Structures are given as C-alpha cells and as structure tokens.
C-alpha cells in the first residue's frame, strides 16, 4: 500500500486527510450554488458523497485531501492516480488527475493556488508520478489562472465538450505537466 502524502504544509495551508467531522462541511460548500457555477455535476447526493470521502482512507489510487487555513477547512483537493490510454506495455500508475473546490468564504485568498501546488508536490515528489492533468471550464478564469500559475500548460480546448445542467454545452480546457517540467519550476516542491 502506498503511504499517503498528508499531512503537508504548502504556503498558508495544511493539507490533510478528511475526518468524519470535515465531510459535512465539504458537502455543504460542494452543493453551494455559487460553487456549482463551474461544476459539471451541479449537486451531489449526500450519501454517495459521504461514502466517496470515507473510501479515500483505504484507497490506493485516491489521495483526496482537505486544505486548512488558520484551522478552518477552506477547500477540498483531489488527486487520483489514473492509468493512461492503455497502450500495450504502457507502465501503470504513472499518471494523475488533480482538482480542487474552494469554500466561497475563502475565495480570493490564494487557497486554490497553494492547494494546486500542494497536489502537484504530492503527485510528483511523493507518489513519483510521470504526468498530471487537470480540467476546468473555459470560462472559469480563476481556475485557468491557478493551473497556469502552477506551471501547467493548456493542452486541449474542447469546444462545447461538456454538458452543464444549468448552462447547456460549455467549452472546457485540459491542462497537463510532466514530472521533468515540474522539477524545472522555481516553485516546485
């Protein structure tokens, strides 16, 4: 079993595993309409959400975490090991997918930037991944800035590639970074 990269300090945040007491807070802001503006799933079913977070504790591929700022849970971060396209002979467990959701009460305070950087530190420096990707809606300018500031490059612009329950078809961006690119960045690790 792979050891978890948490707890970890990055910038002003403490990244750690989610405890039972955290899950209700995460659920509350995950289903906040202000948060869901940029989420493809505009709400989550509470029971399923709780089960997914409880499963993280024993997962060998899901390294999701919470981000604390000044002792308060300010965001949730997602880091999942995923296999690539499955070409014959391709090494498994070398790629990751990251994401984050920030509690609106903590928006504009650098939480997403520090969290994204922490997820990349965990992916490359702790888990030894080769490549990490992240996606966002093309009109989510805050996430675009966060991912680019973290050193990720835009690889794909999908035109009307995602269905949003309230907005209809929306454009999406996919970002990526390789371990060798990460190691060359001044803010790495």
Q: What CATH number labels 8-183?
A: 3.40.630.30
Return the pLDDT at 61: 95
159-169 in b/e burial notation, b at 16+ Cβ within 10 A? Answer: eeeeebeeeee
Per-residue pLDDT of the chain (189 residues), as tens digits, is 678 999 999 999 999 999 989 999 999 999 888 888 788 777 789 999 999 999 999 999 999 999 999 999 999 999 999 976 677 777 778 999 999 999 999 999 999 999 999 999 999 999 999 999 999 999 999 999 999 999 999 999 999 998 888 889 999 999 999 999 999 887 676
* Domain positions in the chain: 8-183
Return the pLDDT at 157: 97
Return the pLDDT at 189: 63
Return the pLDDT at 55: 95
pTM exceeding 0.85? yes
CB 52 within 8 A of CB 87: no
Contacts of 33 (CB under 8 A, 6+ apart): none
Return the pLDDT at 93: 85
């Amino acid at each position: 079993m792979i050891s978890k990269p948490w707890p970890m300090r990055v910038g002003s945040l403490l990244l750690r595993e989610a405890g039972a007491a955290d899950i209700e807070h995460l659920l509350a802001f995950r289903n906040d309409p202000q948060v869901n503006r940029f989420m493809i799933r505009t709400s989550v079913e509470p029971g399923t959400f709780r089960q997914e977070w409880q499963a993280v504790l024993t997962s060998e591929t899901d390294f999701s975490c919470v981000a604390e700022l000044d002792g308060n849970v300010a965001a949730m971060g997602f880091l999942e090991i995923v296999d690539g396209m499955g070409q014959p002979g391709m090494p498994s467990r070398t790629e990751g997918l990251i994401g984050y959701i920030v509690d609106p009460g903590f928006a504009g305070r650098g939480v997403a930037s520090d969290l994204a950087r922490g997820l990349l530190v965990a992916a490359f420096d702790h888990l030894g991944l080769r490549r990490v990707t992240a996606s966002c809606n093309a009109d989510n300018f805050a996430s675009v800035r966060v991912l680019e500031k973290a050193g990720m490059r835009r690889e794909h612009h999908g035109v009307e590639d995602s269905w949003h329950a309230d907005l209809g078809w929306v454009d999406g961006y996919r970002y990526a970074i390789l371990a060798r690119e990460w190691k060359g960045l001044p803010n790495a690790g």
